[in-house]
Structures are given as structure tokens and as C-alpha cells.
Amino acid sequence: MKCVLFDDAKWSNFFPITLTRSIGDLRVGILKLRQRISAYLDMIISNVIVSSQLEAIYKERHKDWQVNELEAVDTIFVNSRLKIDEKVKKQILALQKGECLIKDNVILAARLQPKKGKYQAESVEKIFSDLTKIEPSEIGYWKYLWDLIQANSHYINRDFNYFFYEKDNYFETELGTTVINPYNVWIGEGTVIKPGVVIDAADGPVVLDENVTILSNSVIIGPVYIGKGSTIKSGAKIYAGTSIGPVCKIGGEIEETIFQGYSNKQHDGFLGHSYLGEWINIGAGTNNSDLKNNYQTVAAYFYPENKKIDTKGNFLGTIIGDHSKTGINATINTGTVIGVGCSLFGSELIRDHKPSFSFGTGSKTVKYTVTEFLETAALVKKRRGLDLSGSEKELYSQID
């Protein structure tokens, strides 16, 4: 029996981060959503349905996957937005042909034999017509990006206990390193921790994945995850609820923030309750606000409605799309959403929403030309020994 992970028509709820990736590739806790679903179901998922905009790049990056193509075989379908746990896993595996799990009219899992052919996220729901609907009370799904930020501490704890607690642990530290509650710390092979580092896992686990470097006098307070090949700069303060994906360079003060990966915030400055994509560079002294002075809930720009909506939460910093950058001493207001490929600088407050490819200050921006953006993006990737592929160029050219 096959397993297919599908994005549904709500993939735009997670813009600007999903302008360049599937919902399934969003990170929360230690894992990406698709990794967690695959691990719980104990199935290798190499068949996905994504938006038409992402099809070419996913076929390029995952040459052994079936992307937006289905075979006429018995198949379990799982929505990328599903919040999976042991109870939900059992419900999925118990599905009979022609049945689906549904909540709020959202198909979260189904079992059927589809017609062979091409499908995309925009129209995937037509596959699920005429199914017997099962509506479990204890099942949930992701609705907005800020939901992932708010849940990050919980998922780091969950992932640590489920996937890392009994995994081989290369726990070894230099003389002069302070570790509080070492049973709550997992260190991957090749990771280097310099003297003077404090790892405080009293209130939550700290996972330092393979080949991480923690420079002297950094403080890490769990729950925290730091991904493969990332570097934490000297004097950094990494607080609870932070997940840092692979190959990042991080300094300053970070709290309740998710980095997808391949991004840099090397210098002093505060970043809190935020979500950052890949290939981002945060300039020295950049700070963001994550709480309003009147302590009311934060509104943030929501792409499907082309306006700001109430997030129902008191804390939200900034959401930043791939390949965006801030200049030195930039200041970012509470709930600011910054699109893909932006370059923002100057002393004026950056606020509300900055559309993709915006170039300029907080109050005055012009739009990058695609040619200018692609030249810079190619240089950024070249610094890591990577090329900007044809499919990437095509994808960025389609973003408004």
C-alpha cells in the first residue's frame, strides 16, 4: 500500500514561507511536518502532491519521488497540515477503502484507489468525493504559520521524547562547559562545544544535531533544537522554543523562533516569536518587537485575504520569506510579514507587510527586478558551494 502526502488548497495560508516550499516541508519542533508524519506511520513517503507553482522544483530536487502523479493502487492519503500523534496514527491505519478522516470539512487522511493521472494541490479535493466520512473528536490540523511558532516548545519536547531520547548520544563536552540536567541533552556526532558554554535543559530538552559548533560563552536554555552543521556564535543567548534548521549561523538573542535553515543572524540583536525561511541574512543590530505596548492581540498580514487579520495571540514577531535581508540596526514592528527576496534597511521602523522583492526603507520601497534578485541569490548560494538552478529561477520569476 502506498502513502501520499498532499498539500491542499490552503497552502497559501502559510505564505510567504510556502511560496517556495510545500506545507510538508515546514519545520516545527525538531522535524518538518512530512518527516514527522512519515516517522509516525513508519512509511517512506516519496509520493507528494504540491501546488503547480512548486511542481518543477520538487521534481528537480527529488528525482526519485513521484510529484503530482498518482497510480491506480490502494493508497493512504495524508494531508500535510495534519497534526499527527499515536491516536491519529491508529485512526489512519484503521481506515478501510473508501473512508476518510475529516474535520471542519477538511480532509485530513483518506484511503482509496485513485484514478491514474496528474493532480495538483489546487484541485486535489476532487480525489476525495464520495468517501465515507469519519469525524474523530481528537484530531487537529495546522491553519496558520503563527500556529507553528506558538506550538514550537511543545513539539521540541514531543520530538525529543519520541525520536531522540533513546537514540545514540555522543554526549561529550569540554572542561568548563556547564550542563544542567544532562539527561535532557542530546548531542550528535561531530558536534563541538567550546569552554564557557552553558546548556540549561532543566525546563526542556536541548538537541544539538550532528556537526554543530557552539562557540564559547553561549547560553542555550531548552527546549531548543539546533540543526546539522549550524554554528552558534560566542555570547549568543538562545532561549526556549527555538528551532534552528541546518547550516545556520546564529548570534545575539533568540526566543521562540523557527529558522527553516541556511540562514544567518550572526550579530547582536533580538529576534523573538518569529518564523524565517532559508537564505536569509539579518544585519548586525537588527531587532524585532514581538509584543504590543498595549498587550493586545497581534494582527498580521494574511495573503489569502490580502489584509491583516487577528492572530488571537499576544506574541508574534516577524515572518520572513526566503532570500530576504535586513541592514544594520534595522527595527521590525510586531507582526510584520516580509515576503521573498526583500532587502530592507535604514532607521525607519519596518512594519505591516512588505511584498516580495521590496527594496528600500521602512516607509519607501521599490520593487527589485527579477534579474537583479536572481543575480544576488546566485551569489548567496555560491558562497555555500551551491548553484541557483533553472527551476529555482523559474519559481522566483513566478512570485508576484
What is the pTM assigned to this prediction? 0.96
Q: How many Å apart are CA 190 and CA 209, to the nearest integer?
A: 9
Residue 35, C-alpha cell as written in the block: 518527516
Residue 109, C-alpha cell as written in the block: 487522511
Q: How many Å apart are CA 202 and CA 273, to the nearest integer?
A: 21
Close Cβ partners of 371 (under 8 Å, ≥ 6 residues apart): none
Identify the DSSP state of 349: P
Cβ-contact 294, 321 below 8 angstroms? no
| Every domain of the chain and the residues it spans | 2-143, 146-398
Residue 254, C-alpha cell as written in the block: 533568540
Q: How many Å apart are CA 12 and CA 17, to the nearest integer?
A: 9
Q: How many Å apart are CA 395 and CA 400, to the nearest integer?
A: 11
Q: How many Å apart are CA 329 and CA 44, to the nearest integer?
A: 45
What does 73-88 look like in DSSP terms, one character per residue? S-EEEEETTEE--HHH
Cβ-contact 267, 250 below 8 angstroms? no
C-alpha radius of gyration, the chain, whole number: 21
Identical fold, 2-143 and 146-398: no
Do the bridges between strand 343-344 and strand 358-360 make them parallel or antiparallel, or are there none, so unpaired? parallel
**Could you count the other beta carbons within 10 Å of the beta carbon of residue 49?**
29
Cβ-contact 344, 354 below 8 angstroms? yes
Cα 158 to Cα 22, 31, 42, 80, 161, distances in angstroms: 23, 10, 17, 18, 5
- Domain 2-143 listed as CATH 3.90.550: yes
- What fold characterizes domain 146-398? UDP N-Acetylglucosamine Acyltransferase; domain 1 (2.160.10)
Residue-wise pLDDT tens for the chain (400 aa)?
899 999 999 999 999 999 999 999 999 999 999 999 999 999 999 999 999 999 999 999 999 999 999 999 999 999 999 999 999 999 999 999 999 999 999 999 999 999 999 999 998 989 999 899 999 988 999 999 999 999 999 999 999 999 987 777 877 776 789 999 999 999 999 999 999 999 999 999 999 999 999 999 999 999 999 999 999 999 999 999 999 999 999 999 999 999 999 999 999 999 999 999 999 999 999 999 999 999 999 999 999 999 999 999 999 999 999 999 999 999 999 999 999 999 999 999 999 999 999 999 999 999 988 899 999 999 999 988 899 999 999 999 999 7
